Structure 1
Amino acid sequence: MKKNILLYLSALYFFIFSGYSFSQISENNSLILGTFKITKVIDGDTFKFENLDGSSRLLGIDTEETFKTDDAAAKTDEISAKWDEYYRLEKGENKMPVKTNSPLGYEAMIWAKEFLKDVENARLELEDENRAMDIFGRHLVYMFVQKDGKEINYNVECVRLGYSPYFNKYGNSKKYHQDFIAAQEYARNNKLGIWDPDKKHYPDYEERINWWNKRAEQLENFEKKYSDNENYFNLSDESDFKRLSENVGNEIIVFGNISDVLTKKFPYLLRIPRTKEDTFELVIFEDNANLLNEMEIDNKKEYYTYIKGTLGVYKGKYQIELKDKDQIWIE
């Protein structure tokens, strides 16, 4: 009996003074999606798994796009022969870097298939219960596989070998930020993949990374300053989005990324997507049509914005009417 009491007290002492808690353990376990058989490599950062609906998009990486048809190799050779011109035409008049099929994207897909050819199962982890899927309905995960008796974080390995930059456009990794930073530094120093000047890849990674870093800083700033303020709502956070129903008719401040600007008819609609079908809408009626230029929406679209106004609902969609340019800003 005394022995059992001593064991209990020892265990209790460990949990109290080591900083662990039963709730933390439960929370960590809840972020493990499970172990699944890999059924398809779509490209370097997107996969399908048995008994898991839809596809899964890996967190922290963004391999270049690639052709996925049977003649992908031939198409890749074709654009490779005129890569600089091809990318210039694909970018067109876009102010920001664009995504398009590339020779390095094809190489990343081939590497992924080769790297995983002897791997049957992968362990998938979520980053956060409030951001488990993207707007396309894909699972957002870290993928761990066994290679030569060791467990490897595929996401980090992809960056370490230069097949992807550290992709923090939607926020820094909460779990593996330092691992990604170290992996990217290794790839840079060794001129691997996208950091190899002789390979044919997107030419504007410095611009991309500066852009993504600024967005990641915006998200961290929101978390530090406003996450405990009940009047602020991060629209990419599932729990914040659910709280909107309790605030219809109230003046609130929402935080999100404007994706689509619809101006073919009035009212103008500025959409912040939650899923492909479900969006938060900013509404501009004809009397305030000039607001679109005054607010410089084209510049704000690439970053997270704050919008202040009275929350309404129309045809099942949450919305805020914009009447003044000071209702929307960037921090």
Structure 2
Amino acid sequence: MKKIFSLLLILLLLTTIHSNTIEPILFPDVESLEQVKIRSVIDGDTISTFKYDNNIRLIGIDAPETKSGSKPMGEYSYESYQFVKNKLLKEANRNAYLEFDENMYDNYGRILAYVYYEDEEGYLLLLNEEILKEGLARPLFYEDTSKWQDVFVEAYTYAYENRRGIFEKYDDDNILIDETELSKKDVGKIRWVKTKVKDVKLEKSGFYKIISENEIFYYGVRRQEFEAFFDEYNLYDLKGKEAMFYGEIWIDHQTNQYEILGRAPFEIK
């Protein structure tokens, strides 16, 4: 009887410890993946290989831009790029493994893939997950590339809880700014934006817009991230209330408003 009780106690302790960590995921065997040699790292979510002429875009993540374009050069873009470069070129010695989802190509002709590598101890790791855990990329989900979505939700939450990467400044009052004080110098930077919410709108595309009092700024959430993170959060409750929104500042070139593309409810206070 004592042995049975001791065994149950051990199992309970293991369960308690396990509940405070990211659950282990049974990733595929190396034999079932496509092995490639890495040619170069372009940025935190795009690489090239010797096997394919098309670039490889990591599924489920969006890393800060290393160059200004439709989106600004982002804070932590260099750290994101260096993280991927270190893992694939140095630690994995340019060896990587690709796994594909339902849709193999994006609208730009890039190949969409989950990218795996072996660390220095020989463990197979999913790079898409690792960069999210470091807070050096944000989730970006699509219905036809969602195999590991739950893993990525946990990884991004882990980065927030441990103040990794983009969440390093989460508790820093020095980055708090009122919507009326936003300027071009804030674009591409991590900020807390303080405002009173004028309205919450749901567009036909499924895109939520939380619009500031003076309509200078909005916090947007795509339908895919809303369904992944906001299942118990009512955005409409924010209407008429003072709120703060955390993230990288962009400019909506269609409306000329400042925006943060939101991913999770812990980016709102």
Relative to the length of structure 1, the TM-score reads 0.42
Shift of the 107–216 alpha-carbon distance from structure 1 to 2, 3 Å rule, reads: closer
Q: Secondary structure at the match of 1:42?
A: strand
Q: Distance in 2 between matches of 1:59 and 1:48?
A: 14
Q: Distance in 1 between matches of 2:101 and 2:149?
A: 11
* 1:161 equivalent in alignment to 2:134: yes
* 1:51 equivalent in alignment to 2:51: yes
Structure 1 partner of 2:250? none
Q: Distance in 2 between matches of 1:183 and 1:172?
A: 20
Q: Secondary structure at the match of 1:137?
A: coil
Measured after TM superposition, the shift of residue 175 of structure 1 is: 1.9
- Structure 2 letter corresponding to 1:211: V
Relative to the length of structure 2, the TM-score reads 0.51
- Consecutive unaligned residues in structure 1, runs of 5 or more: 1-27, 68-89, 92-97, 220-260, 262-301, 303-331
Measured after TM superposition, the shift of residue 118 of structure 1 is: 2.7
* 1:192 equivalent in alignment to 2:164: yes
- Structure 2 letter corresponding to 1:121: N
Structure 2 partner of 1:121? 95
Q: Distance in 2 between matches of 1:100 and 1:54?
A: 24
Q: Does the 8 Å CA contact 2:104/2:112 hold for their aligned counterparts?
A: yes
* 1:138 equivalent in alignment to 2:148: no
1:109 to 76, 81, 98: 81
- Quote the sequence identity (%): 29
Shift of the 215–107 alpha-carbon distance from structure 1 to 2, 3 Å rule, reads: same
Q: Distance in 2 between matches of 1:106 and 1:158?
A: 13
Measured after TM superposition, the shift of residue 167 of structure 1 is: 1.5
RMSD: 3.6
Q: Distance in 1 between matches of 2:123 and 2:98?
A: 16
Q: What do residues 237-287 of structure 1 show as CA deviations (whole Å, max 9, x unaligned)?
A: xxxxxxxxxxxxxxxxxxxxxxxx9xxxxxxxxxxxxxxxxxxxxxxxxxx
Structure 2 partner of 1:35? 35
Say which structure is richer in strand. Answer: 2
Shift of the 210–156 alpha-carbon distance from structure 1 to 2, 3 Å rule, reads: farther
Measured after TM superposition, the shift of residue 109 of structure 1 is: 0.6
Q: Does the 8 Å CA contact 1:160/1:184 hold for their aligned counterparts?
A: yes
Q: Distance in 2 between matches of 1:173 and 1:135?
A: 13
Measured after TM superposition, the shift of residue 33 of structure 1 is: 6.3
Shift of the 203–127 alpha-carbon distance from structure 1 to 2, 3 Å rule, reads: farther
Q: Distance in 1 between matches of 2:114 and 2:96?
A: 10
Q: Distance in 2 between matches of 1:112 and 1:124?
A: 15
Q: Does the 8 Å CA contact 2:139/2:225 hold for their aligned counterparts?
A: no
Q: What do residues 294-326 of structure 1 show as CA deviations (whole Å, max 9, x unaligned)?
A: xxxxxxxx9xxxxxxxxxxxxxxxxxxxxxxxx
Q: How many residues align?
A: 160
Structure 2 partner of 1:181? 153
Shift of the 121–45 alpha-carbon distance from structure 1 to 2, 3 Å rule, reads: same
Q: Does the 8 Å CA contact 2:140/2:225 hold for their aligned counterparts?
A: no
Say which structure is richer in helix. Answer: 1
Q: Distance in 2 between matches of 1:202 and 1:127?
A: 32
Structure 1 partner of 2:201? none
Q: Distance in 2 between matches of 1:35 and 1:204?
A: 42
Q: Distance in 1 between matches of 2:37 and 2:116?
A: 12
Structure 1 partner of 2:221? 211
Measured after TM superposition, the shift of residue 45 of structure 1 is: 0.4
- Structure 2 letter corresponding to 1:124: L
- Consecutive unaligned residues in structure 2, runs of 5 or more: 1-27, 176-187, 194-208, 211-217, 229-253, 255-260, 262-269
Q: Distance in 2 between matches of 1:189 and 1:159?
A: 12
